[in-house]
Amino acid sequence: MYFQAFIFAGLVCLICQIVLDNTKLTPGHITSSVTVIGAFLSFLGIYDKIVAWAGAGATALIANFGHMLYQSGLAGFEEGGILGLFSKLLCSSGIAIVTVVVFSFIFTLIFKAKD
């Protein structure tokens, strides 16, 4: 399982690095694109199979954020229609957002940014 996680996450990072080095896209463009690709793969039912195969290698990537947004939005839509979509959209991904903000704040206090 560790090898599969390493291979999948490494391949995604390799592809993103190649795109970053050979195009004029910014890291923000690539991050957004990978998030949308994760949501699209979730829509197609493929991302769950990737998670089953790669485990943490698939859940640690930004593509998983798109997957979580799609899954929680779909669950909300099934429960309450359009309003349910918006009310449930950030339920499962809320913990990821809070974790990123908290750890970013902590690392900002510990490390000094380069000029």
Token readout for 7 is 């291979």
> Exposed/middle/buried for 54, CB within 10 Å: 0-12, 13-18, 19+?
buried
Mean predicted confidence (pLDDT) in 52-66: 89
| pLDDT band of 115, cuts 50, 70, 90 | low
8 Å CB contact between 16 and 63: no
Instruction: Return the closest-CA partner of residue 92 out of 78, 71, 115.
Output: 71
| Mean residue pLDDT across the chain | 89
Between 46 and 94, the more confident residue is 46
pLDDT in tens, 75-97: 888 988 888 888 787 777 777 78
pLDDT value of residue 83: 84
pLDDT value of residue 93: 73
pLDDT value of residue 40: 96
Distance from C-alpha of 2 to C-alpha of 20, rounded to nearest angstrom: 27
Between 33 and 93, the more confident residue is 33
pLDDT value of residue 80: 85
